[in-house]
Amino acid sequence: MLSTVHTHHTHHTHHTLLPDIKHGLRMKDEGGSHIDLHFDNSVFSLDTVKRALYRFADLCSFDISLIDQQIKVTLHVSTPINKSTINDLCFRIRNEVLDQDLRDTISKDTANIRTLILANAFSNTGLIKS
């Protein structure tokens, strides 16, 4: 699946295709001041997207909304940015969403093991009476 990048300028529209890393993601730039990303919420959780976006809070601000089965994220940048910077930012955000999604999966898969290790550690300290 491919994501389409639309860069709108005063008189010209450029279309570039980017490889889509996971289903349900589209990017659209309007006038260089904001970028819309859409994530399918059957693929990514809202919490995962928020954690990923937090990593980019020094570069832009965000509006997040739920529209049908999509998590719409509007990135606001303080100055117009060029196509290369847009592509790089979107690439980095998509990778971070995937990273946070994997971290969440691993955390859920290993929760019982972590609980067992902690329980064992505390049982050896005398803090928990048998």
Look at residue 129 and tell me if it is in a domain.
no
What is the structure's pLDDT at 128? Answer: 58
Q: Say if 83 falls within a structural domain.
A: yes
Show the tokens assigned to 9: 């300028």
pTM exceeding 0.85? no
Q: Are strands 13-19 and 2-8 parallel, antiparallel or unpaired?
A: antiparallel
Low-confidence ranges of the chain (pLDDT < 50): 1-27, 29-32
Residue 111's pLDDT is 87
Determine the pLDDT at residue 33: 65
**Domain with 78 in it: what CATH number?**
3.90.1150
Q: Is residue 130 part of a domain?
A: no
Domain limits at 7?
2-123
CA 90 to chain centroid? 9
Distance set, CA 6 to CA 24, 52, 113 (Å): 16, 23, 46
In a domain, 128, yes or no: no
- The number of folded domains in the chain is 1
User: What is the spatial order of strands in the sheet that 70-76 belongs to?
Assistant: 13-19, 2-8, 26-30, 34-40, 70-76, 61-67
The pLDDT assigned to 10 comes to 31
Is residue 109 domain-resident? yes
> How high is the pLDDT of residue 83?
80
Can you say whether the dihedral through the CA atoms of 49, 50, 56, 59 is positive or negative? Answer: positive
Nearest CA among 100, 101, 122, 103 for reference residue 111: 103
